[in-house]
Structure 1
Amino acid sequence: MNRIADHREKAGIRQRDLVSILGWTQTRISNYESGRRVAGLAESRAITAALNQLGIKCSLDDVFPPEMDFKKVA
């Protein structure tokens, strides 16, 4: 799961502001935020960069937290 909406809403930024920077459709961003669509690495980096452009200081891991199953690693 991603935290796009969490970061965006906390900063008072509208989806359309993010859409404007990315040049994507609002539907696409909405689908990423809701989990109906999974962002690839390039899209994840673009979203994180756009959030930073909008003044949100965040990293890729902040917006797209790693979901590691530590039981499988051990």
Structure 2
Amino acid sequence: MNKIASERLSLGLTQEQLALMFGWRQSRISNYENGTRKPNLNDCRRIVEKFNELGSQCTLDSVFPPIPPKE
């Protein structure tokens, strides 16, 4: 599961505010946060870049942790 919601909340943003920064609908952010939809790599990078522009100090791996391999 990604950590978009926790990073977004730490910046004091609503889903709507974050979505508007990308020209997306609020539902897209909601779907990303709840796992209904998975962002592509480019969108992941854009999200992390925007968070960092807004004052966060996150990385791609901290917001979108790698899935450990199954044994």
Deviation at 1:22, TM superposition (A): 1.2
- Counterpart secondary structure, 1:66: coil
Which has the higher Rg, Structure 1 or Structure 2? 1
Q: What is the count of residue pairs matched by the alignment?
A: 71
Deviation at 1:51, TM superposition (A): 1.3
Q: How does the TM-score come out when normalised to structure 1?
A: 0.83
Which residue in 2 is equivalent to 1:48? 48
Deviation at 1:6, TM superposition (A): 1.0
Which residue in 1 is equivalent to 2:57? 57
Distance 2:35 2:13 in 1: 19
Distance 1:20 1:57 in 2: 21
One-letter identity of the residue aligned with 2:26: Q
In the alignment, structure 2 segments of 5+ residues that lack a partner are none
Distance 1:20 1:53 in 2: 15
Deviation at 1:25, TM superposition (A): 0.8
Deviation at 1:70, TM superposition (A): 6.8
Runs of 4+ in 1 over 4 A off after TM superposition: none
Aligned-pair identity in percent equals: 45
Q: CA RMSD in A?
A: 1.4
Residues 1-12 of structure 1 mapped to structure 2, 5 A cutoff: 1-12=1-12
Which residue in 2 is equivalent to 1:36? 36
